[in-house]
Every structure is written in C-alpha cells, then in structure tokens.
Amino acid sequence: MSDERRGEDVPGEDLPGEDEFRSGFVCFVGRPNTGKSTLTNALVGDKIAITSNRPQTTRHTIRGIVNLPAAQLVLVDTPGLHRPRTLLGKRLNELVLDTLSEVDIICLCIPADEAIGPGDKWIIEQIRPLEKRTKVVGIVTKLDKVGPGKVAQQLMALSELLGPAAEVIPVSAKSGKQLDVLTDLLVSACEPGPAFYPDGELTDEPEEVLMAEFIREAALEGVRDELPHSLAVTIEEVIEREDSDPPMVDVHALLYVERDSQKGIIIGHRGARLKEVGTVARQQIEKLLGCRVYLDLHVKVAKDWQRDPKQLGRLGF
C-alpha cells in the first residue's frame, strides 16, 4: 500500500525532516478478543468498530482515520486471526492476511491479562514473511487489568518472541493510558507522504456496513457462546421519509442465524430481547446518521450459512 499510494514525487523523501507530513496504513492484528477494535475506536476518538467480550466480533476490515497536525494514520482493524473451523473462518483469515501484505505497519496485540499461547505464536509465524518490508510493533493491551509486574513480564515475553528489531509498548484503550505514546511511535514509523483522506473524516466504511455492525453488536450482548459465530446482519433497505420534520429514516434489517433455537435466543420471550436489541442499535445508528431512525428488525434462519459458499457470498463474505 505504501509505495503505490505515495507516488514517486514526495518532496524530501530521501531526507525526511522533523516537520514533514507523514502518513501510513497501520493494521492491528491478534487473536480474537485482544482489544483491537477498542483500541481502534480510542485512537480515532469515535466509535467506528464494534466491540464485544465475545471472540470474533469483527467480521470486516474497518478503516479508522486518525488526523493529526502533521500526520494521518489510517488504522485497519481486522478480524481475529485463528485456526479456522468453517469456510467463514477460512475467508476471514484470508481477509486478514491480504490486508497485512498491503500495510506499512503491523501492530500485534497481546492482552496483558492472558498468557502468550500457541495462537499468538501461530500469528507471529504468519507475520514473519512480511517483516523485511513492513514494520512490526508489539502492543500489550488491557494495561488497566493487571499490575505493573505482570505488564513488565508480558512486555519481555512479547519482545522475546518478536525479536530485538520490534518495539513493544503497553496501552490501555479503556483508560487512555499510553495512547499518546503509541500514536507518536506509529507516526515516527511512518514515512513522509500525503494525507489519504480529507481532514475530519473518521472512517471510509459505508454507512450500511456500520449500521449492520451496530445491530450485530447489540444482538451479541449477553448471549451464549455459540451465537457470535452464527450471527450475520444485512441492511435490506434504507428509506428517507419525505416531508418529515425533523428528518427521519426507516432502516430495515435482517438478522441471520443458523438454527431455530438461535432465532429464539435473539427474539427472546414475546419479542422482548429483539426489542431491546433494536433500542440499543437505533441509538448508535441515529448518532451515525444524525437524524431520527425507525429501525425494523427481522430474524431469519439460514441453515449452516458459515459453511455454505453461496450463502456466504449473499451475506457479504
């Protein structure tokens, strides 16, 4: 991404100065549920990626844009890399690896409160071939969850795995601790180059993708472990009401699950759960669109969609 997009005539590229504008594409990678989306939102300063304590919440590569006086960072939040068990899992991994091959900086996220395990080492193996042309930074996330001694141990363990060339840094997206240090580190690792997006823009994700993600996030809250992998959301229609004052938009969405039992979980007793999902998601969508929203939700069973190539394609994977 870096060479093609920067062009050939960047002034001062051979002798970068302190006051030159810098830009770059930064990818957060790690196991599912290591705080990548929370970190993306914290650095951008607004919610552009959904978060959950359930693994594999992120299903798309989400671009968040950090605008600074002398730099622009384009953050690419990815699904968690994992050993896939379904066709969906395989496609999500391919999406991540394709993204990694195109960015300027790869940030490996390891939570401070979990021991480094085989999954983390497997991810590092996927990154190794890219290290010759892509900078790698190790990030110990969730700094607020453990004491200083545990953080120091995790930093040392991560540094040992990545090697002496990679910088490692602890951060807490929740409290904001060390976020400014991480930003400075990422900017210094970028090369001189132009801003890729207009100042003030926070993401290049289409509104319909973000709306679907907000609905899925609301539906994932407080549900059983099986459901996160089996839930997909599509926006079927967005209609702006004519002559509405104040402005109002109708959003019609479908929530797909794989079994009737999962449909029951989403809908809840007499529809109470689905109504709650709609209320929470609508508030996020209204903030996104800047107007009142009528949100119409329906739940549909698409049997074993994670393993069916045709259904995966229809659902956008």
Report, as an integer, the average pLDDT of 3-25: 56
Tally of structural domains, the chain: 2
Least confident of 91-95, 112-116, 190-194: 91-95
In angstroms, rounded to a whole number, what is the distance separating the alpha carbons of residues 210 and 290?
14
Cβ–Cβ under 8 Å, residues 99 and 76: yes
Q: What is the CATH number of the domain that holds 106?
A: 3.40.50.300
Beta bridge partners of 299: 255
- Residue list for the binding site: 30-37, 77-81, 141-144
Would 8 be classed as within a structural domain?
Answer: no
Cβ–Cβ under 8 Å, residues 289 and 248: no
The bridge status of strand 71-77 relative to strand 62-68 is antiparallel
Would 258 be classed as within a structural domain?
Answer: yes
CA angle 202, 208, 211 (to 5 degrees): 80
In angstroms, rounded to a whole number, what is the distance separating the alpha carbons of residues 231 and 226?
9
| 0.75 exceeded by pTM | no
Would 290 be classed as within a structural domain?
Answer: yes
In angstroms, rounded to a whole number, what is the distance separating the alpha carbons of residues 210 and 316?
13
In angstroms, rounded to a whole number, what is the distance separating the alpha carbons of residues 45 and 110?
22
Paired tokens of 98: 């394709």
Would 257 be classed as within a structural domain?
Answer: yes
Give the confidence band of 61 by pLDDT, cuts at 50, 70, 90: low
Residue 52 pLDDT: 45
Q: Tell which wins on pLDDT, 76 or 228.
A: 76
Task: Calculate the average pLDDT of the chain.
Answer: 81
Residues 155 and 213 in one domain: no
- Residue list for the binding site for GTP: 30-37, 77-81, 141-144
In angstroms, rounded to a whole number, what is the distance separating the alpha carbons of residues 209 and 238?
12
- Domain residue limits at 298: 207-315
Query: Domain ends where: 137, 154, 189?
Result: 189
Residues 155 and 259 in one domain: no
Query: Domain ends where: 138, 158, 189?
Result: 189
Residues 119 and 38 in one domain: yes
Q: What is the CATH number of the domain that holds 271?
A: 3.30.300.20
**Burial bucket for residue 12 (CB in 10 Å: 0-12, 13-18, 19+):** exposed
pLDDT tens across 188-199, in order? 999 999 988 888
Query: Domain ends where: 154, 189, 224?
Result: 189
Residues 217 and 309 in one domain: yes
Report, as an integer, the average pLDDT of 183-208: 85
**Burial bucket for residue 42 (CB in 10 Å: 0-12, 13-18, 19+):** buried
Cα separation values, 22 from 25, 72, 168, 184, Å:
11, 7, 21, 11
Task: Specify the residue for token string 């039992």.
Answer: 261
Task: Specify the residue for token string 């798309």.
Answer: 60
Q: Tell which wins on pLDDT, 156 or 305.
A: 156
